Structure 1
């Protein structure tokens, strides 16, 4: 047909309007809060059928809703049970996206292993990254939550991926992340890290010697698409990056955690006799809270960063205030812990700085 032919072209069907991400987030949030898995998945699949990109559904809708779930829990807007149920529904929504016909394509790029740091149970960020990478054409081995360094290295030997993408949400797992990064690099596999555990701007990613850091799944996929990660340094040793660990404070505090919990708990009972009437559940929750404080103190000692511990205290204060527990209840525990660690200058300095921040900073319910 020449440009001068006058035959009218066949009419093009009008495009079906795709709901905006904000509208879709609202729908999904409502069905997730009703614990209605069927409606949630149906809403997600309808958006895909109507032309919304799978990556946008994963990151702008499901991931956004999951982030709101966490914030609502911290603000005491939903219960732990609701948070767990919502996370399970969102996980199934991700699976539904992964199985949609528009998404299932043959890999055209290299191979990436995606795993969570040992001890890290928050697997959703890693799962989302895995699906985004598959959409972008990578062959992905998703290993899930809590992957130990030996198991990960054994997988690398067997499969030979181009890179490892390591996810971590809790800063308390940074020592384990460091060991995993070093183990992967020792077998010649570069490591990309991401997640809240690695701090604002990826400050701890650099400290722990990761080959690359990304703030989110899109940035991670974009970075991998630009080219291969730099090859690990030969002969790299983890301790070389953190000379402050030679004072042994991190090791001694981390190993003494059960004893420190018992000592601080007993001290709180002596100074606050009402604790002696706590139920078994209340005693367990108090011990867990004390254990978390010591874990974050140990992480701050490992990284040499007081801000890590201060940020944890401010976030914890916000969670307590949302539950109508005065944030000042943290101070006696910090004082008792400082007394127990009086021979540890870095630890006591971190505890004092944390207590000072707590007394002058309004609490916030937003996790760091």
Structure 2
């Protein structure tokens, strides 16, 4: 049950503690709210989650350094642990509804959304195996063979991991375990989750718990599907060509930027490496947009990147030039060129939507 005043002063109090790095004050705030009758689920989703969302927003606005963001996230994670392991005032827990595995997509480093889901589902009466981040799909499947859960809850925040998520979904289903997907990576309304063949999608932790309660039928074990079985547009090979030529594209784009912007030639090794990493992330989002055939995956990232650059007083015009260079290099791939042109137009369009940088909740 939600507490009507849970988010009123508690979020501000918790934010002040987290921003100041005061773990004791943060834990005290949630424990006092718990003593006042606010239930754990409400505290997790209407106090701790919004504070973590604000941590991400402060980083994006360049008001938090990466170190501050990491410190704040670590405090929020320990607040969750302190909250969920505090002895409940009521009697012993009820019967276990079943067993589920909660895991991030392989390569995903945003653990916070998955942790929130795991704790909410656990509060709803499920036995939860929380695997966290960086779980290779073969290891995930081996765990499922050993534990035989009722479902896998797969979390993803960064869309560039969608091809890996696709492989995980098909591998889990191939051994008869249904997949419930969630997180920003799966797109508005979960459209990418459906495209990749997930059994269900949930918008948030409460939605995930509701889906589990309604029941997920087990898929019939079968041979693992090929990507083109779900995504026939992959037959044009544009995704494969961009993914395989990533290193060369980064190198060529950086060389061309140096030729067109003398200031880039003056970069030291560290800044040059970071620029190459930024170009690589742009290409990764282009490849993912090709994989799911959704230009918004690319255009939203480009627009978000421009906002991040602006917050750091870095001119965005080299970004537009970089897109032009990529379009020239990929001129033989019509879907690529179309998406890159959409990305260029997005730089002059509406404000960018929220996009995960540090650990922000789904």
TM value normalised by structure 2: 0.93
Evaluate the alpha carbon distance shift between residue 27 and residue 224 of structure 1 in structure 2; reply closer, same or farther with a 3 A threshold.
Answer: same
Equivalent residue, structure 2, for 1:171: 159
Moved over 6 A (4+): none
Higher radius of gyration, 1 or 2: 1
Q: 2:76 aligns with which of 79, 84, 90?
A: 90
Measured in 2, the distance between the counterparts of 1:208 and 1:124 equals 23
Equivalent residue, structure 1, for 2:41: 55
Following superposition, the deviation at residue 43 of structure 1 comes to 1.3
Measured in 1, the distance between the counterparts of 2:197 and 2:353 equals 31
Equivalent residue, structure 1, for 2:58: 72
Task: Verify: 1:35 aligned to 2:21, yes or no.
Answer: yes
The SS at the match of 2:347 is helix
Please say if residues 41 and 96 of structure 1, whose CA atoms lie closer than 8 Å, have aligned partners that are also in contact. yes
Measured in 2, the distance between the counterparts of 1:230 and 1:354 equals 40
Superposed CA deviations along residues 107-165 of structure 1, whole A, max 9, x for unmatched, are: 52100000000000000111111111111100000000021110000000000000000
Larger RCO of the pair (alpha carbons < 8 Å, separation 6+): 2
Equivalent residue, structure 2, for 1:290: 279
Equivalent residue, structure 2, for 1:159: 147
TM value normalised by structure 1: 0.91
Equivalent residue, structure 1, for 2:132: 144
Say which is worse superposed, 294-303 or 239-248, in terms of deviation.
Answer: 239-248
Q: How many residue pairs were aligned?
A: 351
RMSD of aligned residue pairs (Cα, Å): 1.8
Please say if residues 100 and 149 of structure 2, whose CA atoms lie closer than 8 Å, have aligned partners that are also in contact. yes
Evaluate the alpha carbon distance shift between residue 107 and residue 129 of structure 1 in structure 2; reply closer, same or farther with a 3 A threshold.
Answer: farther
Following superposition, the deviation at residue 303 of structure 1 comes to 0.5
The SS at the match of 2:193 is helix
Q: 2:117 aligns with which of 116, 121, 129?
A: 129
Measured in 1, the distance between the counterparts of 2:15 and 2:137 equals 36
Measured in 2, the distance between the counterparts of 1:229 and 1:251 equals 33
Following superposition, the deviation at residue 49 of structure 1 comes to 2.1
Could you tell me which runs of 5 or more consecutive residues in structure 1 were left unpaired when the two chains were aligned.
1-16
Please say if residues 318 and 366 of structure 1, whose CA atoms lie closer than 8 Å, have aligned partners that are also in contact. no
Q: 1:180 aligns with which of 162, 168, 189?
A: 168
Please say if residues 6 and 47 of structure 2, whose CA atoms lie closer than 8 Å, have aligned partners that are also in contact. no
